[in-house]
Chains A and B, each alone.
Chain A
Amino acid sequence: MKMLFVLMVGILLVSGCTSSQPVIPADTATENSPDTTAQIISEADAAQEDIGSAETDDITSDLDDVIGTI
């Protein structure tokens, strides 16, 4: 009888403690969602840099030099 009682108390305590663990609410679970806005801003920044890029600015002058030299 005593053994049965100890067992039952044990089960109840374990069950009580387990179920009283804080359940992570759905909203908290999304705490670390990717920051899409920051990503879009960074992409816009990169695209913006391309507008001011001078990487193709010398194509015409290089070709003019070729035509004038050879």
Chain B
Amino acid sequence: MTFRPFFALLLAAVLIISLSYPVMAQGADDMPARPVAERIKNMHNEKLDALDEKAKESLNSLNERALDKVQNLEKRSIEKIATLEKQAVRKITSVSRERLDAVSMLDEERLNKLAKLGNARIKELSQMDEETLREKIDSITVSAVPKEMMLKARAIPAASVAEAAERLGIAKQLLASARDRVADRAAELKSIKSQVATCRESNGTDCEEIMQKSFDNAKIIVTGSADKAIEALKKAKARIEGSETMDAAGAEAAIVEIDAAIASLESAKSQAESAETVAQLKEAASGVKSVWRNAEDMLKLHIAKAAYAGTGFTVKRLSHAENRLEWILAYADGQGIDTSGLDAKASEFSAAVEKARAKAEESGKKIAEARDAREAALADGNVTDEEKAAVKKLIGESSALLKEANAAAKEAHAILAEIAKTIRESYKEIKVTESQIVNAEDELPEEIGEPEAVEVTG
């Protein structure tokens, strides 16, 4: 019986340790980062001391570099900056000390609008003189949008996306096969071209066979050419149908035009199939050529628009990602976590996003010019070769710009992934995953919260 008290004590100790262990473990994980000191109070700056409590609270969560710049501004400017969202203050104060003076003289509305842009663009615009800066800001539209709009331009059921991808694959195959078929027959026709010409002048011994061969090859070239055009149109249609980056109205309008061109080509193709004489086949060939002459520019324009929509949407996502990154870093500032080691990479990321945005914007302007040029050419019902060449040139220029935009977007995305990895590995106090930094689909942790999603145009 003597062992009873001892065991009772041991049992109680085991019980306490057992129950408290998970609490201790959790406590260690959730330990808050170092709280921000009363920075403003410690600065002994009369302008800062005179601010109301809300403004002080806002500025207290700034990092020391930013606060150092802010404290030299006019009191009214400081008050304006203090009303901005935390990541907006971070962005605005990233401009040089000299330019911050000019930028902070903007009225609240313009300052707030400027702060919604990317860091690199803010720095670029901050170099402008006051009047040009105001005009530039006024030309930009910033609107709050539901977060879903940052994720996709339209929602397409997964099954429909898969079906469109399948149709895209089939169209690619059929296009390749039609190309081969036409190339083979075109080579054969070319090889007997002089014989055909001779037979037209005088009926020689093998002329019947040669003329039949010429006719058969020609028929396959005409129907095959129609197939090439049809499959190229179907390929573009499938790409548009499966694209969640194109808005529904734009996609629908493109599909209507593509379907009409496919129908016209099918009709011209069936004329060629049923042709029994050279004259009928020539007429059918002219029919296919005529339909394609108009469809070709339309097709290229829609492909350019689809590609532009994809890149434009990437830029939108990356801009949102930049805003989220600034939001996370502003949160870290507020927690007293020094993230200055990330400044260089964050600037590099912003510069790449800005390059992608600017190039995509230029590309979009070229597409608009191409569309206007095509409409003008179609207006008189006679599209000249020069007009076609002009449209083609503009689409080519837009394509080159889009290529640059895509390359910059890829670079930006890679830098963001690098930043996310660094945060995860070296800034463990910021409890955020790589995926949450890179993918807007992943909500940020509750304690960090989500920044407002905004769409910037202009």
- Residue numbers of A with Cβ under 8 A of B are 1, 5, 8-9, 12-13, 15-16, 19-20, 22-23, 25, 27-28, 30-38, 40-41, 43-48, 50-52, 55-56, 59-60, 62-67, 69-70
The reply to whether A62 and B196 contact each other, CB–CB distance below 8 Å, is no
Using CB atoms, name the residue of chain A closest to B439.
A33
In the complex, B149 has a CB within 8 A of chain A: no
The reply to whether A51 and B314 contact each other, CB–CB distance below 8 Å, is no
Using CB atoms, name the residue of chain A closest to B435.
A33
B interface residue count range (under 10 / 10 to 19 / 20 to 34 / 35 or more): 35 or more
Residues of B within 8 A of A32 (CB): 435
Residues of A within 8 A of B282 (CB): 66-67, 70
The reply to whether B288 and A43 contact each other, CB–CB distance below 8 Å, is no
A5 to nearest B CB, angstroms?
Answer: 6
In the complex, B45 has a CB within 8 A of chain A: no
The reply to whether B313 and A40 contact each other, CB–CB distance below 8 Å, is yes
The reply to whether A16 and B307 contact each other, CB–CB distance below 8 Å, is no
In the complex, B72 has a CB within 8 A of chain A: no
The reply to whether B406 and A51 contact each other, CB–CB distance below 8 Å, is no
Residues of B within 8 A of A1 (CB): 4
In the complex, B410 has a CB within 8 A of chain A: yes
Residues of A within 8 A of B299 (CB): 56
In the complex, B239 has a CB within 8 A of chain A: yes
The reply to whether A35 and B438 contact each other, CB–CB distance below 8 Å, is yes
Q: Within residues 178 to 206 of chain B, which ones have a CB less than 8 A from any CB in chain A?
A: 179, 182, 186, 189-190, 193, 196-197
The reply to whether A16 and B22 contact each other, CB–CB distance below 8 Å, is yes
Using CB atoms, name the residue of chain B closest to A63.
B289
The reply to whether B413 and A27 contact each other, CB–CB distance below 8 Å, is no
The reply to whether B239 and A70 contact each other, CB–CB distance below 8 Å, is no
The reply to whether A9 and B439 contact each other, CB–CB distance below 8 Å, is no
Using CB atoms, name the residue of chain A closest to B321.
A37
A63 to nearest B CB, angstroms?
Answer: 4
- Expressed in whole angstroms, the Cα–Cα distance for A28 and B403 within the complex equals 35
B30 to nearest A CB, angstroms?
Answer: 10
Q: Chain A: interface secondary structure?
A: helix
The reply to whether A70 and B214 contact each other, CB–CB distance below 8 Å, is yes
* Given contacts A20-B22, A30-B433, A36-B151, A63 and B441 within 8 Å (CB-CB): no
In the complex, B338 has a CB within 8 A of chain A: no
- 9 closest Cβ pairs, A-B complex: A44-B310, A16-B18, A47-B307, A51-B399, A48-B307, A63-B289, A20-B22, A33-B435, A19-B22
- Expressed in whole angstroms, the Cα–Cα distance for A45 and B221 within the complex equals 31
* Given contacts A9-B14, A44-B245, A63-B222, A37 and B307 within 8 Å (CB-CB): no
Residues of A within 8 A of B221 (CB): 62-63, 65-66
Q: Residue A70 contacts which of B215, B292, B403 (CB distance < 8 angstroms)? A: B215
Residues of B within 8 A of A41 (CB): 310, 314, 406, 409-410, 413
A46 to nearest B CB, angstroms?
Answer: 8
Q: Residue A5 contacts which of B7, B243, B288, B432 (CB distance < 8 angstroms)? A: B7
14 inter-chain pairs at a CB distance below 8 angstroms, sorted by A residue, are A12-B15, A19-B21, A27-B432, A30-B435, A34-B439, A40-B313, A48-B403, A51-B300, A59-B225, A62-B182, A62-B186, A66-B222, A70-B215, A70-B281
